[in-house]
Chain A
Amino acid sequence: MPAPQCASCHKARAALRRPCSGQALCGTCFCAAFEAEVLHTVVAGRLLPGAVVAVGASGGKDSTVLAHVLRELAPRLGISLQLVAVDEGIGGYRDAALAAVRRQAARWELPLTVVAYEDLFGGWTMDAVARSTAGSGRSRSCCTFCGVLRRRALEEGARLVGATHVVTGHNADDMAETVLMNFLRGDAGRLARGGGLGSPGEGGALPRCRPLQLASQKEVVLYAHFRRLDYFSEECVYAPEAFRGHARHLLKLLEAARPSAVLDLVHSAERLALAPAARPPPPGACSRCGALASRALCQACALLDGLDRGRPRLAIGKGRRGRDEGGTPREPGRVRTPVPEAVPTF
């Protein structure tokens, strides 16, 4: 059967059906709608004229699309862009991805800063963390470390380049997976804070925006296809064992049955309110680096602390996070983060 006509221009044949509305659009109209949505999201995220925006760039499909669209919109928004790439120290994977980012930075003529875990986190690369955490649990826990440390590394890189905002390429699928993961782990703290999808500028951190958060992963891939964008598409060597894989698998099955399920999950999380008894106490500041923390140490400091003491699972799992033990560590796991002027009160 032939494809229906585009519901927007009524001239071209439709190339896809948007999951959120079911509307059939041709390639050109879809790209226009995609870009309009990104514009709407960044305006709502208050990326105002004069903003210096650090773009988390991994060379992958999401950050490639993100940087491409923001570059097109930058003159209209009056913002300037800085690419920030994180080198986690994963041999064979990250080197190739960074090469892709460097090519993109050259092609787009955008400044690029690379920040490495090894420099920021006392010599710890992800390969070293993986060796340290191997065999200490059922599923690979090094990915949990990476998620926390990457977020911190991006923050550091953003400060280095004088950014006022940080943007990342999280798409609707990523957000929906995060919601599922927080439910599956019983993470009341994150669920209480808008389902774990974050709020701007917590604990002295730079405001964050996710311009692609309304776009499903499928749409991001199709946009990259229609715009002929080149990106790095190999899987991180540790990813097959990450917990997120389970949430992703479930989400794919749900999406096949009901295409709007991805966005619906995100909207549900935004509207979530926990029962009073379940609400965790308001978070304070990390005693080592001053970042937002619900315990004495923030997650990054607690994880690094555990690694340095040879007890990597110290900060993973309920009930034993960040608790100081007797005896001083050889090299305290400390994140070199500038302490914010004032500890925020909540």
Chain B
Amino acid sequence: MAAPLSVEVEFGGGAELLFDGVKKHQVTLPGQKEPWDIRNLLVWIKKNLLKERPELFMQGDSVRPGILVLINDADWELLGELDYQLQDQDSVLFISTLHGHQMGS
């Protein structure tokens, strides 16, 4: 049983374009039976925030490779990735690294 949570969800590096250009979202996640881990947060984001082209943000039940996830300014790799249990007032930042161009080989 997970209590309702207040978290800040932020998008950068171009990812914000999939969310109407809005970078910071103050989000209240409702109380529910399942825990609020990143896996469930992504489901919630896809359903409630994502405006277009979900395949550019998600792949399967995770983010598309090339999208960095920082939880309270730390790489999610150090915190258990999808299994990290969200706490009240946590900040989750998604930065896209997939854009731009190269200067030729």
Binding site for B on A (CB under 8 A): 1-4, 13-17, 24, 27, 56, 58, 60-62, 143, 146-148, 150-151, 154, 168-170, 174, 177-178, 181-182, 190, 196, 217-218, 221-222, 225-226, 233-236, 239, 242, 244, 248, 252-253, 255-256
Question: With contacts A17-B75, A168-B103 known, what are 14 further pairs, Cβ within 8 A?
Answer: A3-B79, A15-B70, A170-B102, A182-B105, A196-B105, A221-B68, A226-B73, A235-B98, A235-B99, A239-B101, A248-B98, A252-B65, A252-B66, A255-B65
CB pair B65 A221 closer than 8 Å:
no
CB pair B13 A61 closer than 8 Å:
yes
Q: Determine how close the nearest CB of chain A comes to the CB of B55; give it in whole angstroms.
A: 13
21 CB-based A-B contacts, threshold 8 Å: A15-B73, A15-B74, A17-B77, A61-B100, A151-B103, A151-B104, A154-B103, A170-B102, A177-B102, A221-B13, A222-B68, A233-B12, A233-B14, A235-B98, A235-B100, A236-B100, A239-B99, A239-B100, A248-B98, A252-B66, A253-B65
Query: Nearest 4 CB-CB pairs, A to B?
Result: A147-B104, A252-B65, A233-B14, A16-B75
CB pair A1 B77 closer than 8 Å:
no
Inside 8 A of B101's CB, which chain A residues have their CB?
A: 58, 60, 143, 146, 235-236, 239, 242
CB pair B80 A1 closer than 8 Å:
yes
> Does any Cβ of A come within 8 Å of B18's Cβ?
no
A94 to B17, CA, bound (A): 18
Our pick among B70, B75, B77, B105 for the contact of A178 (Cβ within 8 Å) is: B105
The number of chain B residues with a CB under 8 A from chain A is: 28
Our pick among B14, B79, B105 for the contact of A234 (Cβ within 8 Å) is: B14
A217 to B104, CA, bound (A): 16
Closest to B65 in A: A252
Binding site for A on B (CB under 8 A): 12-14, 17, 65-66, 68, 70, 73-75, 77-80, 84, 93, 95-105
A155 to B79, CA, bound (A): 45
CB pair B103 A233 closer than 8 Å:
no
CB pair A147 B78 closer than 8 Å:
no
Q: Determine how close the nearest CB of chain A comes to the CB of B10; give it in whole angstroms.
A: 11
Q: Determine how close the nearest CB of chain A comes to the CB of B54; give it in whole angstroms.
A: 17
A174 to B103, CA, bound (A): 9
A213 to B68, CA, bound (A): 20
A143 to B102, CA, bound (A): 9
Q: Determine how close the nearest CB of chain B comes to the CB of A265; give it in whole angstroms.
A: 14
A239 to B14, CA, bound (A): 14
Interface centre among B73, B77, B93, B105 (most CB of A within 10 A): B105
Inside 8 A of A174's CB, which chain B residues have their CB?
A: 102-103
Inside 8 A of B75's CB, which chain A residues have their CB?
A: 15-17, 222
